[in-house]
Structure 1
Amino acid sequence: MSAVSLGDLARTFMLRRQNVALKADAQRLSTEVITGLAADTRRKVGGDLAVLNSMDSSLALLAARSSITTETAMTASAMQTALAQMDGVASGLSLDLLSLTPGGSSTTIDQLGEQAEDAFRSAVSALNTQVGDRSIFGGTRPQAAAVMDADALLGLLDTVAAGAASAADVQTAIGNWFDSPAGYAGLAYGGGDVLAPVTVGSGKKVTLGVTANDPALRETLKGLAMAAMLNRGALAGASADRAELAQIAGKVLVQGHGERVDLAARLGRTEARIEQAASAAAAEATALKIARKDLLGIDEYEAASRLQATQSQLETLYSLTARLSRLSLTDYL
């Protein structure tokens, strides 16, 4: 039988083709060993990709909802923190205001006025809380501050209360301004309407229906503003009227406590629904990933053995290529 030989060029192409094929096998087997999944999914499922595509679509939808749910949960948590801050300063101040006796000293009243203005500023800051670059109490206008700057708002209130001759006059002026659509809602509130419901799960929606224009929050600001007027020159020199105003502001804040608690409770129920939806989505995603692993899973031990064999073949091919490249006619002459 005559021997069949290969020319140098043909041998080079043959070795190159084998090198490329072995490298591709090594890459594929490496991926399979690392992931535990078949690299050629079409071949693994016998060409029927319907089930796999359905799983991947469901996982993609769950991932998108997870992002929305996480953002919604963060916003709800920030709202709860802000509400707790507002209730804390309002409740603490109300006790101090109501403890003031009708014959309280001017110094004590002045100190309560300073405390009230600080509490008012703290409440405005809480209402202007942002998550990322979104104002959480701004409703459909999250890009704007929910409430105007505290200094500007106090300046407006100074004008509103100007000319008041009694504690009842201050109460009426401040109260009417906060209740009027042309007052707080039209001038100080910078947000929009309540947000639409957000989908956080299959058939599950939640609403973060709290804005800085909520009646409970507006009532709290109203009581704080009345007390803050004690530090803004209202009823100057009339100690009895100033003490009466402190009592009125304290009662407004106490009466608003129940509304603030109800608001926090409502938000807490929303947080619970968000958490339930997140847990259900996580369980569904886990089940889908397990099913996908069962569908595309491989014998990792077998893949590792084949990878080792392929690497040995590559090493042999490199050695053979190096030896052939050193062959020379002069070695046989």
Structure 2
Amino acid sequence: MRSIGDLATFMLSSQFQARLRIAADASAQEATTGLAKDTARHLGGSPMAVSLLDRKSELLEQHKRGIAEAGLFASAMQSVLGKIQDQTGQLGTSLSLVSQLQQPSELKTLSDAAAATMIDTVNALNSEIAGRYLFSGSGTRARPLPNGESLLAMLRSQIAGATNPGDAIAAVEAWFDAPGGPFESLAYSGSETGFAQLPIGPDQAVTLGLRADGETVRDMLKALGIAALASDASLGFGVVDQKTLLDEGRIALLQVDSSITEERAGLGLIEARIDTARLAAESDLSRIALDRMSLAGVDQFKAASEFEAAQQQLEVFYRIAARQGRVSLAEYLR
């Protein structure tokens, strides 16, 4: 059983050991980070300035997350448009050979290629990032279009019964362009009024102004649809009429290519704004970190020296405690 004197000595030793450990841990942290562990004490009990800097830093980190999201969204849109433009460009090159072809099988191959490109294009326009669709305007939770096969089937039913290329082209254009028509009422499911707006700063936002029901997209899908349906069995057109539709699709694709280029250029400007906002946020965070260091910073060499001193004191304390323990055990066994 410990005497009161022994118990008091033990408690004092434990408190001394705890203080040394706390001092060593604090000095180690300060030597590593260069910042005072106890900010309030370091600033004489007035840490308000550091608290304000920390709050600004938290807000900037939130803005950085918003900027990163906007950058990801814009980059994904740019990638989709680039893929679509590459595919439609390759199709246009293939369609330029129409005038040299005479066999129905050759024309069908081109028409099938147009159908495949249209299906891929529609499916690309349905791309999403983390459950948010890229080309649905402000209604990012709604898929803008049915899948490519379904949309092509809907369009095919629209032109059934056309007796000449002019009627088929007019039917396709009416399906896409008529106000409140099939494309708007049956195909497109995104927002009809707004565009996706993503914040990139306290009072800044970027607007991604391309939707799947926009003029550029409709013109592109019309061109693809005309070429895709040229050899449709329900129409039963001959070689001359098929070539007319394929050539009409080619001309329309050439015209819409410049519109896609303009859309991508506009998107590139938005990407530049996002990048500028990101650099500004990172610059502000660096400045805040320097300001915080000037307020709460410590001499890291001094902190390292204090850590070494605390460590040495702990080692001495442990040696003395161990020696006392052995003496006490010997006395007890005697």
Aligned to 2:301: 301
Quote the offset at 1:14 in angstroms: 0.8
CA distance in structure 2 between the aligned counterparts of 1:279 and 1:238, rounded to whole angstroms: 60
Aligned to 2:62: 64
Aligned to 2:185: 186
Q: Judging changes above 3 Å, is the alpha-carbon distance between structure 1 residues 192 and 329 closer, same or farther for their aligned structure 2 residues?
A: closer
Give ranges in structure 1 of 5+ residues lacking alignment.
none
Query: What does the per-residue CA deviation read over 1:9-46, in whole Å, with 9 as the maximum and x for residues that have no partner?
Result: 11111111111111111111111111110001112222
Aligned to 1:259: 259
**Is the Cα–Cα contact under 8 Å of residues 142 and 190 in structure 2 kept in the other structure?**
yes
Aligned to 2:90: 92
Aligned to 2:203: 203
**Segment drifting more, 137-146 vs 175-184:** 137-146
Give ranges in structure 2 of 5+ residues lacking alignment.
none
Quote the offset at 1:237 in angstroms: 4.4
CA distance in structure 2 between the aligned counterparts of 1:167 and 1:261, rounded to whole angstroms: 29
Aligned to 2:128: 130
* 1:289 equivalenced with 2:289 (yes/no): yes
**Segment drifting more, 204-213 vs 74-83:** 204-213
Amino acid at match of 1:191: G
Q: Please, what TM-score do these two structures have when normalized by structure 2?
A: 0.92
Quote the offset at 1:166 in angstroms: 0.9
**Is the Cα–Cα contact under 8 Å of residues 98 and 246 in structure 1 kept in the other structure?**
no
Quote the offset at 1:239 in angstroms: 1.6
**Segment drifting more, 322-331 vs 282-291:** 322-331
Quote the offset at 1:102 in angstroms: 8.4
* 1:277 equivalenced with 2:267 (yes/no): no
Q: Please, what TM-score do these two structures have when normalized by structure 1?
A: 0.92
Quote the offset at 1:317 in angstroms: 1.4
Q: Judging changes above 3 Å, is the alpha-carbon distance between structure 1 residues 158 and 35 closer, same or farther for their aligned structure 2 residues?
A: same
* 1:310 equivalenced with 2:310 (yes/no): yes
Query: What does the per-residue CA deviation read over 1:92-129, in whole Å, with 9 as the maximum and x for residues that have no partner?
Result: 32333244228733122111111101111121122122
How many residues are treated as equivalent by the alignment?
329
Q: Judging changes above 3 Å, is the alpha-carbon distance between structure 1 residues 329 and 70 closer, same or farther for their aligned structure 2 residues?
A: closer
Aligned to 1:148: 146
CA distance in structure 1 between the aligned counterparts of 2:113 and 2:235, rounded to whole angstroms: 17
Quote the offset at 1:196 in angstroms: 4.9
**Is the Cα–Cα contact under 8 Å of residues 145 and 191 in structure 1 kept in the other structure?**
yes
**Segment drifting more, 196-205 vs 47-56:** 196-205
CA RMSD in angstroms comes to 2.1
Aligned to 1:222: 222
Quote the offset at 1:287 in angstroms: 1.1
Amino acid at match of 2:299: D
Q: Percent identity?
A: 31
Aligned to 2:162: 164
CA distance in structure 1 between the aligned counterparts of 2:233 and 2:97, rounded to whole angstroms: 22
**Is the Cα–Cα contact under 8 Å of residues 231 and 237 in structure 2 kept in the other structure?**
no
CA distance in structure 2 between the aligned counterparts of 1:227 and 1:34, rounded to whole angstroms: 67
